[in-house]
Amino acid sequence: MELQEVVVKLERFGPNSLAEKWDNVGLLVEPSKPHLVRKLMITNDLTEAVLKESIAEKADMILSYHPPIFAPLKKLTNSSVKERILVSAIENRIAVYSPHTIYDSLKGGVTDWLASCLGEYTTQPVIPFFDESASGYYKLEMYISKDKQHNWSEVLNNYNKENSVQDIIVSDLVDPKGCVKYGITCSRSGMFQILDSYHEMFDRNDNLQITKLSSKPILGTGSGRICRLVEPVSLQILIAQVKKHLNLSSLRLAADFYKPLSKLIRTVAVVAGAGGSLLKGVKADLYLTGEMSHHDVLAAVASGTCVLLCDHTNTERGYLFNKLKLDLGSLLDNRIEIITSKVDGDPLAVI
């Protein structure tokens, strides 16, 4: 398949617009045309060893999850590893494509794959993705008393199944009267339906706030995930599930209470790779991520959140080598041989 066709299909699967603004994603190395892709190698990181492996494997393209070009380059010489990798890729006519935060944000991407070991849960992004090319969406915010919450959630869940409602967030915010804050993002028609139901159930609307949004949220897409478990699960069981999912014999846990393993977990905030900045201040019983700084871990534990660290790429590679490999097979009509690197691995090991 021609490289251009591969790239069009990849961008349809995960649009570049999903990437964080600071990221450098998409086609990063393009050999001169025509460039036929017969074999594509998936790797978490494009190291010199992985590049040598791809040359030996006669790959025409590498999908490197982390971008091998990030900071702007001023030269392409043999003086640094980064430059040597790029020079060698060009000389050997190997295209390089990097999806990085596109796949983190993607519904069913890296973050959802990482969270999938938690059992049954409802989920929402820590920071939802908004399509800035679309408008006409509204945010409704209201406080609902405890005795009416169940009925109101049922009404909203019915709308959620139809598509007029993009997102419902029941926050942990409780006002002095014990009412819980609901935030609902919906289309204009969805808003009128919800308002009808709201006025049927509640006589006063003095706590109702309506805001017109300038962009459209994309359901289930965005940075990180907050997962609310349907049934609370002990930390010990969750740790076992995470270890099995990531095929790891050990993880690092930070917690500030006696007998932490029996603690029941209801909410888990999940970030693949480095979770420190995104998880700052996020309310959850547990953070599940690859790495966090010492001070971020201390701050999380001080606010009552346990932290489970699995090392950076251990939270990413499983998605790439298992789910993505299968997804790309059907995306590219099984016309391209897709292989995964055998030498790519997390640089840290427990000894």
Name the residues that contact Zn ion, by CB under 5 A.
273
CB closer to Zn ion out of 106 and 194: 106
Question: Is the CB of 71 or the CB of 302 nearer to Zn ion?
Answer: 71
CB of 311 to Zn ion, least distance (A): 11
Is 104 known to sit in a ligand binding site? Answer: yes
Between 190 and 273, name the residue whose CB sits nearer to Zn ion. Answer: 273
Shortest distance (Å) from residue 228 CB to Zn ion: 25
| Per-residue buried b or exposed e for 175-209, using 16+ beta carbons within 10 Å of the residue's own CB | eeeebbbbbbbbbeebbebbbeebeeebeeeeeee
For the bound state, the minimum distance from the C-beta of residue 222 to Zn ion, rounded and expressed in Å, comes to 17
> In terms of CB distance, is 86 or 110 closer to Zn ion?
110
224/273 with CB nearer Zn ion = 273
| Closest approach of Zn ion to the CB of residue 156, in Å | 35
Crossing angle for the helix pair 146-161 and 188-201, to the nearest 10 degrees? 150
User: Between 185 and 314, whose beta carbon lies closer to Zn ion?
Assistant: 314
Q: Would the annotation count 327 as a binding residue?
A: no
Query: Min. distance of Cβ 272 from Zn ion in angstroms?
Result: 7
Asked if 9 and 332 touch (Cβ cutoff 8 Å), the reply is: yes
Q: How far is the CB of 289 from Zn ion (least distance, A)?
A: 10
Residue 125 or 273 with smaller CB distance to Zn ion: 273
Q: Is 132 labeled as ligand-binding?
A: no
Q: Which residue's C-beta sits nearest to Zn ion? A: 273
- Least distance (Å) from Zn ion to the CB of residue 273? 3
Q: Is 245 annotated as a binding residue?
A: no
- Binding-site positions read 66, 104, 312, 316
Residues making up the binding site for a divalent metal cation: 66, 104, 312, 316
